[in-house]
Amino acid sequence: MKTIERVCCISCGSNLTTLKSIERFPIYMGVTDEEAHKDIFADLTFAKCSRCNCVQLKNLIPLDILYKEAHTNSVGKTWLHHHASFAEFINKRAQGNVIEVGGAHLHLAKNLEKNDNIKSITVYDSNLFCYGNKETEKIKLREEFFNKENVSVKPDAVIHSHVIEHLYDPFKELKDMSDLIDDGSFMFISSPIIDEMMKDGFTNAMNFEHSYGVTKNLLHKMLRHCNLRIVEQSDFNKYCVFICAVKDSKDLQEDYNPVENESYYHKFINYHDTELKRIKSSLEKEEKAFIFGAHIFTQFLLKYGLDENKFVCVLDNDERKIGKRLYGTNLKVCSPKVLKNYESPIVLLKAAQYTNEIKCDIIENINSDTRFIL
């Protein structure tokens, strides 16, 4: 497989300088039934802009390969709370015909469907039907990547939740969405704040799917570029922001070219250099351990230097993953319920903002004697 080289900065078009490369990183953040020799790897190469310091990946995976399989699972209380909260945020202003870009699981669309002011919700996603989704009177399904040329009904609003970080050319692709709506219409965005995630060492922050460092400054710059004026902004939590922006072509904004502070990237790398030593030391006296997350959480730690032979299996709460193999590894996926069969098992749990939720579930509902490396 040949990767796509990002030749210039997504924000200002300037040259990129390579920072670090993690060789042979698995391209897919999920599980598989196929044999290990079919897994595809590529170098995960971090770079920064020589002018504005925006941190981004230099090597990109062709989209048809990267999103060949679906893995937008949205499992857990945190995600359910997110979708309900974002729907409430949207419902204050949304009406008419709505387009949602992404959202294959339809959690958000089903929340919005209850709004009598919304006539229709057309959802664009390349993996819609693998979740058993069906159209309803309001929800229309388009199993494809969003393309403004394929939109048949002019929208009164455009919505996307945790999509903006997946865009390879975010300024152009956001502009394509903005071009569909008239002045006075709204775009609703839920976006992760990648720099805050990386400051706290979250391994799900930047990867082949999240290929650049989304910051609030960069979000504001993108919206100005698309003639979108922020009318409301609300932090869902430290790592996620909701934005409502109105299309306003007459209110032309002055050039806004913030210089990013790339120190969050260096903090992330330094943290993991130290953290891997601590984890290895904690595992030394353990004959076998468990690791949580059939996802990037585990893949990153293994590629960064952990020995997968230290682990019995990967634990995950998503029933669709149970019994399969974590892509890029030889580890099988099991339900956390297997911990009931062990006396004082030890679990390596580094699941970013979901860590506490997962730990509490294991302690309260599975095995109260479980020990954790957090």
Which residue would you say has higher pLDDT here, 281 or 103? 281
Co-location of 338 and 206 in the same domain: no
Find which of 71-80, 149-158, 183-192 is predicted with most confidence, using mean pLDDT.
183-192
259 belongs to a structural domain: no
What is the crossing angle of helices 216-225 and 170-179, to 10°?
50
pLDDT of residue 153: 86
pLDDT of residue 133: 86
Co-location of 99 and 221 in the same domain: yes
Co-location of 184 and 90 in the same domain: yes
pLDDT of residue 74: 56
User: Token digits for 13?
Assistant: 């078009």
SS3 of the chain: helix, strand, coil, percent, to 5:
30, 25, 45
230-252 pLDDT tens trace: 999 999 999 999 999 999 988 66
Last residue of a domain, one of 190, 223, 247: 247
- Domain of 163 in residue numbering reads as 77-247
pLDDT of residue 258: 80
280 belongs to a structural domain: no
pLDDT of residue 38: 96
Co-location of 229 and 133 in the same domain: yes
Considering only 121-130, 139-148, 289-298, which range has the smallest mean pLDDT? Answer: 121-130
Helix and strand numbers (H, E) in the chain are 9, 19
262 belongs to a structural domain: no
Model confidence at 75, pLDDT cuts 50, 70, 90, reads: low
Calpha distance 116→98 (Å, rounded): 13
CATH number of the structural domain spanning residue 182: 3.40.50.150
Model confidence at 181, pLDDT cuts 50, 70, 90, reads: very high
pLDDT above 80 for 98: yes
Co-location of 188 and 219 in the same domain: yes
44 belongs to a structural domain: yes
Last residue of a domain, one of 66, 89, 112: 66
274 belongs to a structural domain: no
CATH number of the structural domain spanning residue 344: 3.40.50.720
Query: How many percent of the chain have pLDDT more than 70?
Result: 97
Co-location of 229 and 334 in the same domain: no
Q: What is the mean pLDDT of the chain?
A: 94
pLDDT of residue 295: 94
Co-location of 86 and 234 in the same domain: yes
Co-location of 189 and 294 in the same domain: no
Is the distance from CB of 241 to CB of 235 less than 8 angstroms?
yes
pLDDT above 60 for 72: no
pLDDT of residue 222: 95
User: Token digits for 26?
Assistant: 């698995």
Total domain count, the chain: 3
Tell me the CA distances in angstroms from 101 to 68, 117, 146, 166, 301, one per residue in order. 17, 20, 6, 11, 31
